C-alpha cells in the first residue's frame, strides 16, 4: 500500500480561514451571477411567432445562457465541496493521490480538487 507523501507543508489554520473567506465570497458572487443569468433567461421566452432567423437567434441566446448556467453550477459545486472539506479537515488534499495541493495552486483556484500533477495527467490526451 502506497502512502501519500509530500514535502509540502500543511496549510495553517490562519491560511485555511483566509481560504474559507475567499470561498464564501466566490460562492456569493457566483450565486448573484446565476440569479442575473436566470433573470436574463426570462428575456428570451420561447417564441412561436417570428421568422426562422428570429427563432434561431432566440435559441442561440438560450443555449448560451444554459451553458453559462451549467458551468456556474459546476463551479458552485466545487466551491461547496471545498467548504465542506474545510469543515471535515480535508481541505487542500488531492482527491486522486492524497498529496497536499500547493498553496500556490489554491491561491489561484481555492476550490481545486486535484494537485497539479494529477490535473495534468487527467487533461493529457490518451
pLDDT category at 4 given cuts 50, 70, 90 is very low
- Name the packing angle between helices 52-88 and 13-41 (round to 10°): 160
Q: What is the pLDDT of residues 18-59, one digit of tens each?
A: 999 999 999 999 888 877 766 666 665 555 555 666 666 666
pLDDT category at 6 given cuts 50, 70, 90 is very low
Of 105, 109, 83, 81, the C-alpha closest to 95 is 81
- The partner residues of 100 in beta bridges, in order of sequence, read 93
Q: What is the pLDDT of residues 94-115, one digit of tens each?
A: 999 999 999 999 999 999 999 9
User: Cell numbers of 86, please?
Assistant: 474545510
More confident residue, 22 or 11: 22
Question: pTM (2 decimals)?
Answer: 0.70
Task: Output the pLDDT for position 108.
Answer: 95
Amino acid at each position: 500500500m502506497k502512502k501519500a507523501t509530500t514535502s509540502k507543508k500543511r496549510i495553517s489554520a490562519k491560511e485555511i480561514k483566509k481560504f474559507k473567506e475567499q470561498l464564501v465570497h466566490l460562492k456569493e458572487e457566483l450565486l448573484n451571477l446565476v440569479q442575473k443569468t436566470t433573470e436574463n433567461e426570462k428575456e428570451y421566452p420561447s417564441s412561436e411567432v417570428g421568422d426562422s432567423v428570429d427563432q434561431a437567434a432566440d435559441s442561440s441566446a438560450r443555449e448560451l445562457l444554459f451553458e453559462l448556467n451549467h458551468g456556474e453550477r459546476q463551479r458552485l459545486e466545487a466551491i461547496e465541496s471545498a467548504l465542506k472539506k474545510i469543515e471535515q479537515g480535508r481541505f487542500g488534499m488531492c482527491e486522486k493521490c492524497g498529496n497536499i495541493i500547493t498553496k500556490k495552486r489554491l491561491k489561484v483556484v481555492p476550490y481545486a480538487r486535484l494537485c497539479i500533477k494529477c490535473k495534468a495527467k487527467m487533461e493529457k490526451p490518451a
